């Protein structure tokens, strides 16, 4: 079994590793980045500076920072929920280069500091839903992915975007998936205003366990679509085969839109448990973003294109 069925997750069940030391280690590694500003003595994180509040944010209450940074799916750093926060030393977020390649007229690489200069940093409070049945509300910080794609000038034949995550076989998990982790979107999905290239959360630089130094955030899809620690973005003509499609094609489709009417083969997707809450809630179509994204899937058989 690749993913265990969801458990009833209570706040008391969330592992509490030594977050302070993990965050200090991240700042030490990212010290050369423009986003790692000088810290007053005793601070355990780096602020990102002025942020633009986004009208795309939900008004729902945010999940606690402690839960968001200690209860994670990041299989390259371990398969238990507490593993990523405990194994941040396995990934060094600096120096870092993000390549944009494939069917583009201007292929190039970006350092994190260059990405930060492309557009004002926005804070977007998004619902995030995991295929395992739990959810969070997270204040991400980043720029629209469309802003970065525009810099590379996609060619007319480009129809899809493939994302490749960092993988180091000497330090990261072996087995489980066909590494490196890959994900994909249609080009119109990638250009959608909701799709975010995140560099932080809670106003701070992105912790390693949450996908430092740069990750994808696609809030109307299940969480595994939002690839972490991205090193390459490829514009391609044909639909890419993603890591989870390779591992379980009958369970993980390319689109992976949050859809309460299409069950996972091993459990229902009709309800979810918000981390920090005791009772379950009804899962919303497209994770509550139907008004913004449903038109992109008009006329599609959502059971076939799951």
Nearest partner of 148 among 193, 95, 75, 197, judged by Cα: 197
CB 93 within 8 A of CB 212: yes
Segment 255-280 shows an average pLDDT of 95
Question: Is residue 5 one of the residues assigned to a domain?
Answer: no
Q: How many structural domains compose the chain?
A: 1
Alpha helices by DSSP H, listed for the chain, are 19-29, 65-70, 83-86, 112-116, 145-152, 187-190, 243-247, 290-293
In a domain? residue 6? no
For 160, the enclosing helix (H) or strand (E) is strand 160-165
Q: pLDDT tens for residues 60-102? A: 999 999 999 999 999 999 999 999 999 999 999 999 999 999 9
Q: In this model, does residue 304 exceed pLDDT 50?
A: yes
The answer on pLDDT for 299 being more than 80 is yes
Residue 258 and residue 104 in contact, taking contact as beta carbons nearer than 8 Å: no
Residue 143: beta bridge partners?
Answer: 197
What pLDDT does 1 receive?
36
Write down the mean pLDDT value for the chain: 88
Q: Has residue 25 been placed in a domain?
A: yes
Question: Does 3 map to a domain?
Answer: no
Instruction: Using the structure block, give the residue that is written with the tokens 């809630």.
Output: 281
CB atoms within 10 A of CB 31: 12
In a domain, 15, yes or no: yes
- Assess if residue 2 is contained within a domain: no
CATH number of the structural domain spanning residue 25: 3.90.420.10
pLDDT of amino acid 67: 98
Residue 180 preceded by cis peptide, ω within 30: yes
In the chain, % of residues over pLDDT 90: 84
Residue 230, class by beta-carbon neighbours within 10 Å (0-12 exposed, 13-18 middle, 19+ buried)? buried
Instruction: Give the model's confidence band at 10: pLDDT under 50 very low, under 70 low, under 90 confident, else very high.
Output: very low
Task: Give pLDDT tens digits for 146-158.
Answer: 999 999 999 999 9
Question: Sorting pLDDT into bands at 50, 70 and 90, what band is 193?
Answer: very high
Quote the domain boundaries for residue 109.
Answer: 11-297
At 59, the pLDDT band (50, 70, 90 cuts) reads very high
Distances (CA, A) of 230 to 7, 79, 161, 276, 277: 29, 19, 13, 29, 31
Domain assignment present for 304: no
Predicted pLDDT of residue 115: 95
Interval 44-52 mean pLDDT: 74
pLDDT of 98: 98
**How high is the pLDDT of residue 46?**
61
Using one digit for the tens of pLDDT, what is the confidence trace for 109-135?
A: 999 999 999 999 999 999 999 999 999
pLDDT at 11 > cutoff 50: no
Under 8 Å between Cβ of 242 and 180 = no
Please say if the pLDDT value at position 34 is more than 80.
Answer: no
The three-class DSSP label of residue 33 is: coil
Q: Is the peptide bond before 115 cis (omega within 30 degrees of 0)?
A: no
Checking if the pLDDT of 295 tops 70, the result is yes
- pLDDT, tens digit (0-9, with 9 covering 90-100), for 200-213: 999 999 999 999 99
Do the Cβ atoms of 35 and 164 come closer than 8 Å? Answer: no
- DSSP for 235-249? EESSPPPPHHHHH-T
Distance CA 245, CA 250 (A): 8
Q: Is the pLDDT of residue 49 over 90?
A: no
Give, in order, the Cα–Cα distances in Å from 82 to each of 66, 133, 278, 289.
12, 17, 20, 29
């Amino acid at each position: 079994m690749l993913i265990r069925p969801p458990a009833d997750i209570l706040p008391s069940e969330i592992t509490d590793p030594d977050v302070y030391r993990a965050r200090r280690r991240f700042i030490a590694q990212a010290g050369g980045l423009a986003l790692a500003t000088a810290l007053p003595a005793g601070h355990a994180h780096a602020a990102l500076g002025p942020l633009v509040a986004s009208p795309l944010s939900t008004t729902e209450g945010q999940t606690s920072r402690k839960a968001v940074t200690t209860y994670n799916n990041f299989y390259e750093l371990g398969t238990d929920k507490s593993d990523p926060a405990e194994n941040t030393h396995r990934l060094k977020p600096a120096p870092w280069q993000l390549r944009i390649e494939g069917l583009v007229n201007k292929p190039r690489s970006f350092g994190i500091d260059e990405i930060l200069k492309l557009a004002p940093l926005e804070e977007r409070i998004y619902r995030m839903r995991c295929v395992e049945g739990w959810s969070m509300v997270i204040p991400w910080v980043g720029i629209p992915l469309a802003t970065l794609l525009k810099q590379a000038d996609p060619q007319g034949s480009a129809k899809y975007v493939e994302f490749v995550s960092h993988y180091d076989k000497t330090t990261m998990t072996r087995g489980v998936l066909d590494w490196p982790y890959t994900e994909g979107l249609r080009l119109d999905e990638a250009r959608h205003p909701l799709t975010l290239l995140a560099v932080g959360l809670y106003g701070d630089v992105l912790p390693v366990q949450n996908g430092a130094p740069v990750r994808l955030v696609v809030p109307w899809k299940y969480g595994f679509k939002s690839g972490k620690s991205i090193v390459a973005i490829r514009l391609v003509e044909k639909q890419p085969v993603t890591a989870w499609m390779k591992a379980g094609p009958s369970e993980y489709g390319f689109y992976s839109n949050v859809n309460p009417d299409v069950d996972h083969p091993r459990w229902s997707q009709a309800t979810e448990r918000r981390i920090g809450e005791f009772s379950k809630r009804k899962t919303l179509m497209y994770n509550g973003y139907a008004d913004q994204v449903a038109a992109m899937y008009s006329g599609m058989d959502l059971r076939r294109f799951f």
